Amino acid sequence: MAKQKSARLLVIGGAEDPDEDRMEILPYFVEMAGGKQARIVVCSSPSENPEEKVRVYRKLFEKIGVAEVIDAPISSRVEAADPELVAAVERATAVFFTGGDQLRLTALVAGTPFGECVRERLFHDGLVVGGTSAGAAAMSSTMVIGGPSDGTVRRQDVDLAPGLNYWSDAVVDTHFNQRGRVNRSLTIFAHNPQILGIGIDENTAVDVVPGRGFTVVGAGAVTVFDGRVSHTSAPDAADGDVLAVIDSKVHVLPAGYGLDLKTLRPTLPGGAEIAAA
């Protein structure tokens, strides 16, 4: 009986590789997918202009050098049931979700034949799944869909919805330090202490093996919020109340650093775990 392969994700904070001549994130994704033998399905469902978004990423992936790019500008759940698209996922080595609106992605893809094929192959066949901005935010079990980037920590400061759940017990926020989204993450785990908050900067990504660990790639940082707090006032707070969040842990991890998802301890470049103080 063949051994089940580990799922693997590349979760990107948005605005990746602004200079095409100095790309790092997308070539890394291509290597994950098989290098020059990679066959990548580009799903642009999050975008309001999916055809144009597909063309942008087709150009980038072809410039890097892959065997095949398959367009999936899905704009309805009927299209997500297209047998040809499902067959494309069956032969692909990777699927890439573009940016846009994460609610569009889940509304158009979750539970469809296309979406179920991606999930099945991710967790059983070693399909690599990548996503940027909205496409990254949708990968976690709990998905941020809105909320102000200014202000303090209040219940009303964040709106949540179920994500695609490729990465369970986590919530991903993108464009993190560029848009000042610390208060959103603190609000989330004030109400959901079992959830790990992952804030990813632009042109930065995490290479994730769900349930095992991740490594940071790119130019910025990943901010990790360990939500196992000793106290929060969230259960009794009104929407406009400032929340108390006591004994939270925050890690800021640049490229090469990572996190063991079993122990929730950061790791050094090379993989050695950092002991608790």
Q: Among all residues, which ones are annotated catalytic? A: 133, 175, 202
CB distance 272 to 263 below 8 Å: no
What is the side-by-side order of every strand in the sheet holding 204-209? 68-72, 39-43, 94-97, 128-132, 8-12, 204-209, 213-218, 258-260, 265-267
CB distance 185 to 173 below 8 Å: yes
Q: Residue 101: in which H helix or E strand, if any?
A: none
For 57, phi then psi, to 5°, come to: -75, -30
In angstroms, rounded to a whole number, what is the distance separating the alpha carbons of residues 274 and 185?
Answer: 23
CB distance 133 to 14 below 8 Å: yes
Quote the tokens at residue 49. 């202009």
In angstroms, rounded to a whole number, what is the distance separating the alpha carbons of residues 6 and 123?
Answer: 7
Quote the tokens at residue 4. 């089940």
The residues, any chain, with a CB within 8 Å of residue 167's CB and separated by 6 or more, are 9, 11, 139, 140, 141, 208, 210
* Nearest Cα residue to 109 out of 64, 166, 37: 166
